[in-house]
Amino acid sequence: MIATKNHINKKILILDIDGVVIIGGERFSSRFSRQFNVPYSEVLKFFKNEFKGCVIGTADLKKVIRPYLKKWGWKKSLKSLLEYWFEGESIVNWELISYVRRLRDGGTRCYIATNQERYRSDFIKNIMKLDTMFDGMFFSWEMGVKKPKAKFYKQMIKRLKIDNPKSILFWDDEKENVNSARKLGIGAYIYRNYEQFRKKIDKIIAN
């Protein structure tokens, strides 16, 4: 069963990116460590420190990652490193995208809400073209705050111009993000796989 204008077009579907819309693949830190024989702890230092500012828009990834290229023994360009990173995490959940397309055809507004820095956000929009498959995208770097902070969801609600958070159906693979959204009255669910997601949406439609 699929949504029509008489079903859930008054609801707003919001999906996380990594682990939901983009699935599979090995995260950059572990993949880079394994393939180029760089200690995982050395790669992780970047993500535990400088990268945090990139995700909320207070730091520029291209600037703060540059000193690490020498530490990691990367002899190619910064551009090639980012291509290696972003392309390695770009497996699209096409079953989910197909379902989103049909929901949108039925009148349901569908969005992305994700913790991302500027350049991968550009890759997601301009290279992967995911922005053409949704009604809008909420990137943490643009909002100046990331999930699971309540401010992230409050900004999202404000930008959607809705009065009732219960009209949102939010899916994320991180329990902490889901719990935070629920505290604000958002209908939030943990995403485990497409079948679980589809069954839950179908149940909501049926009711």
Residue 82 sits in the same domain as residue 129: no
Beta strands 168-172 and 187-190, pairing class: parallel
Domain presence at residue 160: yes
Residue 119 sits in the same domain as residue 69: no
Q: Residue 159: give the domain boundaries.
A: 12-24+91-206
Domain presence at residue 115: yes
Other C-beta atoms lying within 10 Å of the C-beta of residue 150: 13
Q: Which of 43, 64, 87 is the endpoint of a domain?
A: 87
Domain presence at residue 126: yes
pLDDT digit string (tens) for 79-136?
Answer: 999 999 999 999 999 999 999 999 999 999 999 999 999 999 999 999 999 999 999 9
pLDDT digit string (tens) for 41-68?
Answer: 999 999 999 999 999 999 999 999 999 9
What would the mean pLDDT of 4-18 be, rounded to a whole number?
A: 76
Domain presence at residue 6: no
pTM: 0.93
Domain presence at residue 3: no
Residue 53 sits in the same domain as residue 119: no
Residue 77 sits in the same domain as residue 95: no
First to last CA, the chain: 12
Residue 97 sits in the same domain as residue 144: yes
Contact yes or no for 54/48 (Cβ under 8 A): no
pLDDT in the model for residue 9: 55
Other C-beta atoms lying within 10 Å of the C-beta of residue 190: 14
Confidence class of residue 8 from pLDDT cuts 50, 70 and 90? low
Specify the long-range contacts of residues 39-47, CB closer than 8 Å, at least 24 apart. 42/71, 42/72, 43/72
Specify the long-range contacts of residues 189-195, CB closer than 8 Å, at least 24 apart. 191/15, 191/16, 191/19, 191/20, 194/93, 194/95, 194/96, 194/99
Q: Does the structure show a pLDDT above 70 at 1? A: no
CA Rg value for the chain: 18
Rounded Cα distance, 111 and 116, in Å: 15
pLDDT digit string (tens) for 142-177?
Answer: 999 999 999 999 999 999 999 999 999 999 999 999
Residue 137 sits in the same domain as residue 202: yes
DSSP for 95-157?
A: HHHHHHHHHHHTT-EEEEEE---HHHHHIIIIIS-GGGGSSEEEEHHHHT--TT-HHHHHHHH
Domain count, the chain: 2
Residue 16 sits in the same domain as residue 34: no
Q: Give the CATH number of the domain where residue 19 resides.
A: 3.40.50.1000
Rounded Cα distance, 104 and 110, in Å: 7
Q: Does the structure show a pLDDT above 80 at 6? A: no
pLDDT digit string (tens) for 171-201?
Answer: 999 999 999 999 999 999 999 999 999 999 9
Residue 74 sits in the same domain as residue 165: no
pLDDT in the model for residue 154: 97
pLDDT in the model for residue 207: 73
Domain presence at residue 1: no
Residue 176 sits in the same domain as residue 106: yes
Rounded Cα distance, 41 and 46, in Å: 9
Residue 189 sits in the same domain as residue 134: yes
pLDDT in the model for residue 73: 97
Reading the block at residue 195, the tokens are: 């079948």
Residue 69 sits in the same domain as residue 107: no
Q: Which of 56, 87, 118 is the endpoint of a domain?
A: 87
Q: Which of 72, 87, 102 is the endpoint of a domain?
A: 87
Residue 136 sits in the same domain as residue 167: yes
